[in-house]
Structure formats: C-alpha cells, structure tokens
Amino acid sequence: MMQSVTYRKMKNHLMSGLMLACTLAVLVPLGLIFFHILKMGVSSLSLDFFTHVPAPTGEPGGGMANGMVGSAIMIAGASLIGLPVGILGAIYLSEFGGSKVSTLIRFAADVLSGTPSIITGMVAYTLLVVPMKGFSGLAGSVALAMIMIPIVLRTTEEQLKMVPGSLREASLALGVPFWRTSLKVTLRSALSGVLTGVLLAVARIAGETAPLLFTALGNQFWSKNVMQPMAALPLQIFSFAIAPYEDWHRLAWGGALVLVTVMFALSLTARYFGRTRQAG
C-alpha cells in the first residue's frame, strides 16, 4: 500500500464517521417509535382504560380491560402446555441426548421457531377451530404454545448443559435416583437461567398477533370462557389501529404502551436473572 499516511488517516476518520452515522440511522427511527408510544400512550391511559371494555364505534372513552385479561388467560394456557413440553424435552436433549435423534430434534425446534407465526395460526385453525366448530381462546393458547416450545427447549437445554457433570455425579453417588437428580439437582442449579429463557418466551408470545387472528379471533366484550372467542391486547391494537376512528387510535396507543412496558419488564427481569447466574 503506497498511500500517504494523511490519506490513510483521513480515510480512517471518514469510515469511522460513516459507521457512527449508520448507528444513528439505526437508533433514530426506534427512538421515534418510543417517543410516539410514550407521548400518545400516556395521555390515553386512565383508570377506565384498565377497567372497561372498548366503547362502541364512535363513542369516546372505554378501555382494553378485556384484552388484557384475555391475553393473560391465553398466555397462562400456553405456558401450561408449552413449559412442560419444552423443559422436559430439554432434559431429554441434555441428559439422554447426544445421538442423531437429538440433532434432528434440535433442527426441528430451529425450523419451528423460524416458521412465520401466521402459519402456526393456520395450523391451529385446522386442528382445533374447524373440529370444534368455532374460534376459541383455547385454540389461541395452543397456537401460542407452539411458538413457545422451541424457544424454551433450546434455552433450557443450553442452561442444563452448563451444569457441571460433577454435580450430577455427587448426587448420584449419594444414591439419589437419576430422575430426582435431574429435577432436584441439575434443573435446580440451572433454574435462574431456565427462568430467563421462560420469561423471554413469555415476552415473545405476549406480543404475538398473527397466530391469534384465526384462533382466538378477538371479542369486543368480556370473554373469560376459553371455549369462546377471546379478546387479546395485540389483536385489539391491530384492529383499532387500522380503524378510521380517532378514539380507537387513542386506545391503540394506550394498549401499545402497556404491551411494551410489560415486555420490557419481562426482558429486564430475564436479564437480571441471567446476570446473577453468570456472576455466581
């Protein structure tokens, strides 16, 4: 390279500036999104927002209480189905696995988590909504569980693998059966890491909209029966945002603020658990 030192230094500064510009270009739209959610969201939050169902078309006021309750019910249902499958499946992969079958299962989990979530909704529709002859919160829970399982499986497996083998051997040497060792020693030592994965998975499904479109469908009224169409916060944000009414737009911003706050609280808690584990 026969370039002068000043030229090379200038080029260095130029490219560094360009990279800084890239970083800013990445952060600015995201900053704007936050700014708008905060600005529009805070002004539309009130006690009514958390206690009332949406007002009929065109009328002011109302809230998204039914959506929040519906989301909570469906997330609880999805966790009830998804967590045992994900965590016990992960125990198989880390404690019994190692064969070609495990590689296949890991690959299947990766494929599942890469599949667009709307496909999950279509499959849950054919499997549950069609035979049961109606949209239901249960179908929504199953669709969300299908998204949750691969995430929980992979993060739990990673955490279990980090538990030193000597810990298991110590427990087994004391005569503790293998299954109790797995649950009470291996899983328990990895618990904070597993919890991190679970919280991240919950945060992920809390914001999912597409899989609920043809399963839970949404509901303008109170809906606590899981066999009936059920309201969900993301679904309400979607339908209110594309409706031509100012009042509904306001509700949508309020819902977005609540959703983002819940998700960030979950992610930060997850990060906290993840950190204490690494430090310990």
Partner 1 sequence: MRTSCCTNETETDRAAAAPKSPQPAIAKKLGGDSIFRYLTTFFAFSILAILALMLYEMAGESLPAIREFGWKFVSSKDWDAVQGSFGALPYLYGSVVSSVLALLLATPLSIGAALFITEIAPGRLGSVVAPLVELLAAIPSVIYGLWGVLVMAPWLQSTVQPFLIEHFGFIPLFEGAPYGVSMLAAIFILMIMVVPIITSITREVLLAVPQSQKEAAIALGATRWETIKIAILPYGKSGILGAAILGLGRAIGETMAVTMVIGNAPNISLSLLSPAYTMPSVIANEFAETTSKLHASALMEIGLILMVVTLIVNAMARLLIWSVSGRAKGGAA
Residues 96-115 that bind partner 1 (CB under 8 A): 96-99, 102, 104-106, 108-112, 114-115
Residues 251-270 that bind partner 1 (CB under 8 A): 252-253, 256, 259-260, 263-264, 267
The structure tokens 């560094």 sit at 16
Minimum distance from residue 197 beta carbon to partner 1 (Å): 13
Told to check if 72 binds partner 1 by CB under 8 A, we report no
Do 215 and 129 touch, CB atoms closer than 8 A? yes
Do 227 and 142 touch, CB atoms closer than 8 A? no
Q: Which is nearer to partner 1, 20 or 42 (CB)?
A: 20
Told to check if 49 binds partner 1 by CB under 8 A, we report no
Range in contact with partner 1 (rule: CB under 8 A) among 57-65, 72-80, 189-197, 209-217: 209-217
Minimum distance from residue 62 beta carbon to partner 1 (Å): 18
* SS3 of the chain: CCCCHHHHHHHHHHHHHHHHHHHHHHHHHHHHHHHHHHHHHHHHCCHHHHHCCECCCCCCCECCHHHHHHHHHHHHHHHHHHHHHHHHHHHHHHHHCCCHHHHHHHHHHHHHHHCCHHHHHHHHHHHHHHHHCCCCHHHHHHHHHHHHHHHHHHHHHHHHHHCCHHHHHHHHHCCCCHHHHHHHHHHHHCHHHHHHHHHHHHHHHHCCCHHHCCCCECCCCCCCCCCCCECCHHHHHHHHHCCCCHHHHHHHHHHHHHHHHHHHHHHHHHHHHHHHHHHC
Q: Which of 62, 95, 128, 159 binds partner 1 (CB under 8 A)?
A: 95
Q: Which is nearer to partner 1, 61 or 177 (CB)?
A: 177
Minimum distance from residue 116 beta carbon to partner 1 (Å): 3
State which amino acid sits at residue 49. Answer: F
Range in contact with partner 1 (rule: CB under 8 A) among 47-55, 189-197, 203-211, 219-227: 203-211
Range in contact with partner 1 (rule: CB under 8 A) among 26-34, 43-51, 58-66, 219-227: 26-34
Residues 6+ apart with CB under 8 A from 22: none
Minimum distance from residue 15 beta carbon to partner 1 (Å): 4
Minimum distance from residue 242 beta carbon to partner 1 (Å): 6
Residue 246's Cβ-side half-sphere holds a number of Cα atoms within 13 Å equal to 1
Residues 118-177 that bind partner 1 (CB under 8 A): 118-120, 122-123, 125-127, 135, 146, 149-150, 153-154, 157-158, 161, 165, 168-169, 172-173, 175, 177
Q: Which of 148, 203, 226, 230 binds partner 1 (CB under 8 A)?
A: 203
Binding mask 234-253 for partner 1 (x = CB under 8 A): x--xx--xx------x--xx
Q: Which is nearer to partner 1, 66 or 215 (CB)?
A: 215
